[in-house]
Structure 1
Amino acid sequence: MDQEQKTRVGEAIYGRVVSAKDLGQAIRSKRKEIGMRQETAAGMTGVGTKFLSQLENGKETAELGKALQVLYKMGLELYVFPRSADPFKER
């Protein structure tokens, strides 16, 4: 995540996602913010510990459906919009 695009909420860091690594960092950050072990988070989100570990580490070939499932169950949302319509861009 670009340094200027990061937002700190509690102990978690969120922001613009431009890579699989960024997505994984956001997921790991949320998991740690709520004080959940990886094994517990994997069970809660319906994926294996290995998958969650790889996702958090930015595996570029992680299955999209499972990644979206993890985001949803962890209370995170993903938005897609054209760069020209970026609601977060400074005006």
Structure 2
Amino acid sequence: MTTFIETPQHLGEIVRKARKALRLTQPQLALAAGVGVRFIVDLEAGKPTVRLENVLRVLQALGITLKASGLDDISEDPGVRA
């Protein structure tokens, strides 16, 4: 399934729904992702200034991948940098 994320609040909703679907508490997700519980609370609340590095850790812990689309001129080979 592909979901388009356009706001920090929408990202927070997705994280919360995924966490609950996996039957994880916020402290359990924080431990799995290597972040603090406060970070999970802020992320799920849609705080716009959360650290991207930690967002990626949380998404990975939930089994969610992040994909950029609409960028036809960027190589799909992750080893190639523009």
TM-score by shorter chain over 0.5: yes
TM-score (norm 2): 0.80
Q: Identity of aligned pairs, percent?
A: 31
Q: How far apart in 1 are the matches of 2:4 and 2:61?
A: 20
Q: Which runs of 5+ in 2 are unaligned?
A: 73-82
Higher relative contact order (CA 8 A, sep 6+): 2
TM-score normalized by structure 1? 0.73
Structure number with higher strand proportion: 1
Question: Which structure 1 residue ranges, 5 or more long, are not aligned?
Answer: 1-6, 8-13, 85-91
In the TM superposition, 1:1-91 aligns within 5 A as: 15-82=3-70
What letter corresponds to residue 54 of structure 1 in structure 2? Answer: D
The alpha-carbon deviation at position 83 of structure 1 amounts to 7.4
Q: How many matched pairs?
A: 72
